[in-house]
Amino acid sequence: MIVVMRIDCSQDEISRVANRIEDAGLKAYIPHGIGHIVVVGVVGQPVPGLRDALESLPGVEQVIPVSKPYKLASREFHPQDTIVDLDGVAVGGDEIVVMAGPCAVESEDQLFTTAQAVQAAGATVLRGGAYKPRTSPYEFRGLGEVGLRLLAQVGDETQMPVVTEVMAVEDIDLVAQYADILQIGSRNMQNYVLLDEVGRTRKPVLLKRGMACNVQEWLLAAEYLLVQGNEQVILCERGIRTFENYARNTMDINAIPIVQKLSHLPIIADPSHATGKWYLVPPLALAAVAAGADGLLIEVHPDPDLALADGPQSLTFDNFRLLMSQLRPLAEARNRKLAIPRARVKP
């Protein structure tokens, strides 16, 4: 349920509405940046009579029921697009934001050369995993805190915000010390305890779609973050499991315009994990931007054959540059442009 307040309502009237909602055992949620009207979201199971009670309070314009199970993530609740600001890089606005880097941080040299190459080609955010969810326990599982330190160092040197995965509640504080964006991976999209705790931070979150989850389940996962007060949520379509097994996953391009219709949250696409094959990454990246994605997450490695994780889906520097040159005119065709790197790498 959404309570729309009159434009001239007072702070006291807003507080009275919020108190009435809390008295009914529900949560009142007043988002930032909603526009010229003040909206109070009511989150929780419906309480008989509450709608009438709220409608009769002073300062209230109208009370609108939200039909979707996800409330704060819905466009009904928040009609304007949310723009997530990553310290100067805006995701969800006019610009297409490309986040690129290796699957896993392996060494300073690997990360720094990749950061330089992707930034020179036009990427504005550096990615790299330090805690890696691997299907087999015998595979490389990341450098942990050493990897986080390298990420923060290279992010500073290149002035790129960094995104990295947090897999466990007990790691959140540590990862948040080093990262600009906390990534919740596909396997953890329904780890509700992790979502609650990441929602309590005020760090931007990249929420990947669970590989076996539908759009509604994904938006409900985003709701967990939003209801804890973290409004800086970026969704990431990374492919879902289907009967087709040529590619690692099937990229659900439908999900991009569907999410944009249902939700105000920005959505980017990860064609690397969606396809698992480097030569499928450029066409799917272009398709995602053509479908309206707000950005891309792409794995790039100096020598994919030697990568400790996800080499087969990683682009070489040359292939990444080529993709970026193809993206520019496509972004323009959608009336958008590629975000400009904030700063060149220091000599």
Q: Residues in the site for ligand PEP, rule: CB under 6 A?
A: 103, 129, 133, 185-187, 208, 238, 270, 273
- In the structure encoding, which two tokens stand for residue 42, read together? 């009511």
Count CA within 13 A, CB hemisphere, residue 256.
23
Pick one of 267, 310, 327, 331: the residue that binds Mn ion (CB under 5 A). 310
Closest residue to ligand PEP, Cβ-based?
Answer: 185
Q: How far is the CB of 47 from Mn ion (least distance, A)?
A: 45
> Is 93:276 a contact under the CB 8 Å cutoff?
no
DSSP state of 236: E
Q: How many positions of this chain bind Mn ion (CB under 5 A)?
A: 2
CB 183, min distance to ligand PEP, A: 6
Taking the C-alpha atoms of residue 21 and residue 13, their distance in angstroms, rounded to an integer, is 13
Among candidate residues 88, 209, 288, the one with its CA nearest the CA of residue 298: 288
| Binding partner of 133, given Mn ion, ligand PEP, none, CB within 5-8 angstroms per partner class | ligand PEP
Q: Which is nearer to ligand PEP, 2 or 175 (CB)?
A: 175
Q: Which is nearer to Mn ion, 20 or 273 (CB)?
A: 273
DSSP H or E stretch at residue 29: strand 27-29
Nearer to ligand PEP, 92 or 185 (CB): 185
Report which residue's Cβ sits closest to Mn ion: 103
- C-beta separation of 116 from 157 below 8 A: no
Closest approach of Cβ 134 to ligand PEP, in Å?
A: 8
Is residue 240 within 8 A of residue 211, CB to CB? The reply is: yes
Query: Distance between CA 164 and CA 111 in Å, rounded?
Result: 13
Name which of 1 and 103 has its Cβ closer to Mn ion.
103
Give the span between the Cα atoms of 219 and 201, in whole angstroms. 19
**185 binds, options ligand PEP, Mn ion, none, Cβ within 5 to 8 A by partner type:** ligand PEP
Place of tokens 């008295």: 23
List the x/- string, 258-297, binding to Mn ion by CB under 5 A. ----------------------------------------
**274 Cβ contact partners less than 8 Å away, ≥ 6 residues apart:** 237, 238, 239, 247, 248, 249, 250, 251, 284
Q: How far is the CB of 127 from ligand PEP (least distance, A)?
A: 7
Cα separation, 225 vs 231, in Å, equals: 7
| Shortest reach from residue 213's CB to ligand PEP, in Å | 12
CB of 191 to ligand PEP, least distance (A): 12
Phi and psi (nearest 5°) for 247? Answer: -95, 165
Which of residues 186 and 232 has its CB atom nearest to ligand PEP in the complex?
Answer: 186
Binding site for Mn ion (CB under 5 A): 103, 310
